[in-house]
Amino acid sequence: MTNKKRIIAVIAGLILLAVMVWLALGSHGQKHGKDTSSSQSQTKAATTNLPKGVKSTDWDLVLINKQHPENQEINFTQAKVGDKVVNQKIQQSVIDFMAGAKAAGYDTTLVSGYRSIEYQKEVFANVLANNEKNGESEEKALAETKKVVQTPGSSEHQTGLAIDLAGNDALAKYPGLTGEMDQFTSQRWLIDHAPDYGFILRYPKDEASIKETGIDYESWHFRYVGVTNAKYMTKHHLTLEVYLKALKAREAS
């Protein structure tokens, strides 16, 4: 083969390689675009094809957070599960939830149920003081406290519909309650089966959820919203904030 033919062959080979790379990148880009579109469609479907008969004003969907505080104590019929107080409407659900864990081989502890605004003030102050004791500046201590503890009037514990529930083994290692409790199968069981009893993991660990709730991941905090709502929200990865927004949009249309 002459040098001229060799040069032509090399050039042809490079052109062929360039075409193949271009096609591969184009195909990937099209696929990526399709995936993004699919994800957006799934999100839209999740917030439009909502369960029938559910209203944003239902008692089990009451929202209390930093953006929707309630500075007056909420009146409801109280009931006890062990030594903890909850809204009577969810008493049996809490009992069944813990019994279900027991049947699966996991002993659990109901760490907290209803908390009054006054008690929430104590909780907030204690965590704040502990952060300052650990050497954090006043400003940083306050910011860190707000990440894990709702300010008084902003905690859904005052509804009696929220519980802190932990596997005994997870609680023994992390008595202060931390997200790492989900390393234990007992806590994973609670998270995975909460919807069966009408509860959702209120503060998930993904960044989108943290942005929506304003609270860091809490593997122990469960909120009663009813079985239908809980299963739908969990299946579609919707926080209570987003779910209520979607319900209100449906009601307004």
pLDDT in tens, 64-101: 998 999 999 999 999 999 999 999 999 999 999 999 99
Q: Is there a single domain that holds both residue 40 and residue 64?
A: no
Residue 32 lies in a domain: yes
Q: Is there a single domain that holds both residue 37 and residue 66?
A: no
Burial 195-229 (b: 16+ CB within 10 A, else e): bebbbbbbbbeeeebbebbebebbbbbbbbbbeeb
Q: Which residues contact 112 (CB under 8 A, 6 or more apart)?
A: 84, 157, 163, 164
Asked whether residue 203 carries a pLDDT value surpassing 90, the answer given is yes
Q: Is there a single domain that holds both residue 13 and residue 89?
A: no
Per-residue confidence (pLDDT) for residue 40, from 0 to 100: 52
Task: Let me know if 218 is a catalytic residue.
Answer: yes
Residue 54 lies in a domain: no
Higher-pLDDT residue of 24, 105: 105
Q: What is the DSSP string of 62-76?
A: ---SSSS---SPPP-
Range of the domain at 30: 1-46
Side chain identity, residue 195: P
Residue 133 lies in a domain: no
Residue 182 lies in a domain: yes
- CA-to-CA distance for 232 and 234, rounded, in angstroms? 6
Q: Is there a single domain that holds both residue 210 and residue 106?
A: yes
pTM for the model: 0.79
Domain tally, the chain: 2
- CA-to-CA distance for 140 and 144, rounded, in angstroms? 6
Residue 139 lies in a domain: no
Q: Which of 132, 138, 218, 241 is catalytic?
A: 218
Q: Is there a single domain that holds both residue 174 and residue 88?
A: yes
Q: Is there a single domain that holds both residue 95 and residue 3?
A: no
